[in-house]
């Protein structure tokens, strides 16, 4: 990805405007658990490896990862969501407090299972550890209507001081089309960018500012396989724009970078930043929408925001595990691009 000097200066100025911008995030707070072990031997009970556990780490995932990325980019982020009264929920709150991220708008729901994605990684001593299996622990039921209403009201009370609203919908109930419509009306005439990351319900939303789905999510929404068919990608992208009444749509395509759609403009391809030999794609979409949202909050155009999100995404996939990108990293990458 090449950036001309004038674009580079403009992008750097946007990153310098990140610190202190207040972003409200309404979404599903997920815990990403990593269990690291060393291969000891093959089990006598079954042809499987026995790992000696050496380390366990719980870090923010899902909407919590987007909030974590916003904080590391310099934003003042207020996450609004729910966690359970369990180990994973306490770990998320502890992570936020350590980074001085406000937890006042996070509700602890008794009997609720904090969505937790446990990745088991193993390897020989001094070798790089590889993921062996992932175990997901999810709540038996989505959050109830009354709790969702309370979360939406908490988010609405924060909008007067916000520069942007990010909706992170992983399907666990904290955020949905109804809640987003309520927040849009609560913002009134304030020109508040509302960005959307919806794993399963993209086409159920309407009149948000922008969305950042990946290509498989577009394919699933329409039941069509895109592959290398750019004409189909363009058609589905424009259809998504119309269905959601978007001002911008960013479709991420892995090693093929991303495509930006805007009304009455040709789709703009943004090539991948850095190497296409990635280390780990875990949570990359959260980094993309966090950067894109914060850039809009800092006054960037949609194209500038997409460029910055693309660079941040390229940086984070070179890190292992659920990772974030700091503002200084982003600025340095732009200067060296």
Give the position of tokens 């290398």: 228
How many whole angstroms separate alpha carbon 79 and alpha carbon 63? 8
pLDDT for position 83 = 97
- Residue 272 within any structural domain of the chain: yes
Say whether 226 sits in a helix, a strand or coil: coil
Residue listed under structure tokens 């993921």: 131
Catalytic residue among 28, 32, 72, 286: 286
Do 19 and 48 contact (CB within 8 A), yes or no?
no
Contact predicate 151/174, CB 8 Å: yes
In a domain? residue 43? no
Does 136 qualify as catalytic in the annotation? no
What is the C-alpha separation between 257 and 272, in angstroms, rounded?
A: 4
pLDDT at 280 (0 to 100): 58
Looking at residue 188, its pLDDT comes to 85
Q: Where residue 97 sits, what CATH number does that domain have?
A: 3.40.1190.20
Residue 121 belongs to some domain of the structure: no
In this structure, is residue 41 part of a structural domain? Answer: no
Distance of CA 231 to the CA centre of its chain: 27
Determine the Cα–Cα distance for residues 294 and 179; give it in Å rounded to an integer.
Answer: 21
21 lies in some domain = yes
pLDDT on residue 25: 98
Which structural domain range is residue 19 located in? Answer: 5-31+61-114+142-336
130 inside domain: no
Which position has the token pair 């109830």?
144
Tens of each residue's pLDDT in the chain, 337 residues: 677 778 889 999 999 999 999 999 999 999 999 999 998 889 999 998 899 998 899 999 999 999 999 999 999 999 999 999 999 999 999 999 999 999 999 999 998 999 999 999 998 776 778 888 999 999 998 899 999 999 999 999 999 999 999 999 999 999 999 999 999 999 988 889 999 999 999 999 999 999 999 999 999 999 999 999 999 999 999 999 999 999 999 999 998 999 999 999 999 999 988 766 655 577 789 999 999 999 999 999 999 999 999 999 999 988 877 789 999 999 999 998 7
Distance CA 40, CA 73 (A): 40
Distance CA 271, CA 143 (A): 39
For 179, the token pair is 């809640």
- How many domains, in total, are found in the chain? 1
Q: Which pLDDT score is estimated for 283?
A: 76
Domain membership of residue 187 (yes or no) is: yes
Residue 72 placed within a domain = yes
Q: What is the pLDDT of residue 277?
A: 61
């Amino acid at each position: 990805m090449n950036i001309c000097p004038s674009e580079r200066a403009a992008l750097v100025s946007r990153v310098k405007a990140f610190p202190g911008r207040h972003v409200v995030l309404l979404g599903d707070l997920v815990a990403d658990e990593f269990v690291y072990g060393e291969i000891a031997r093959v089990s006598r009970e079954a042809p499987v490896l026995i790992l000696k556990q050496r380390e366990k780490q719980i870090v923010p995932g899902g909407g919590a990862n987007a909030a974590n990325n916003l904080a590391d980019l310099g934003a003042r982020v207020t996450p609004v969501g729910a966690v359970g009264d369990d180990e994973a929920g306490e770990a998320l709150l502890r992570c936020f407090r350590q980074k001085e991220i406000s937890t006042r708008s996070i509700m602890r729901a008794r009997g609720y299972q904090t969505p937790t994605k446990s990745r088991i990684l193993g390897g020989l001593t001094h070798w790089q550890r590889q993921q062996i299996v992932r175990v997901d622990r999810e709540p038996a039921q989505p959050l109830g209507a009354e709790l969702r209403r309370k979360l939406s009201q908490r988010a609405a009370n924060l909008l007067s001081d916000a520069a942007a609203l990010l909706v992170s919908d992983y399907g666990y109930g904290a955020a949905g089309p109804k809640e987003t419509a309520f927040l849009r009306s609560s913002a009134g005439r304030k020109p508040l960018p509302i960005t959307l990351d919806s794993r399963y319900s993209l086409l159920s939303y309407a009149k948000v500012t922008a969305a950042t789905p990946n290509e498989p999510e577009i394919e699933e929404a329409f039941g069509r396989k895109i592959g290398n068919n750019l004409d189909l990608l363009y058609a589905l992208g424009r259809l998504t724009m119309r269905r959601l009444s978007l001002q911008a749509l960013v479709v991420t395509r892995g090693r093929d970078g991303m495509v930006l759609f805007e009304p009455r403009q040709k789709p703009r391809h943004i090539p991948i930043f850095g190497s296409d030999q990635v280390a780990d794609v875990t949570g990359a979409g959260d980094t993309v929408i966090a950067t894109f949202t914060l850039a809009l909050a800092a006054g960037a155009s949609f194209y500038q925001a997409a460029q910055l999100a693309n660079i941040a995404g390229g940086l984070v996939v070179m890190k292992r595990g659920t990772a974030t990108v700091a503002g200084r990293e982003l600025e340095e990458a732009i200067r060296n691009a």
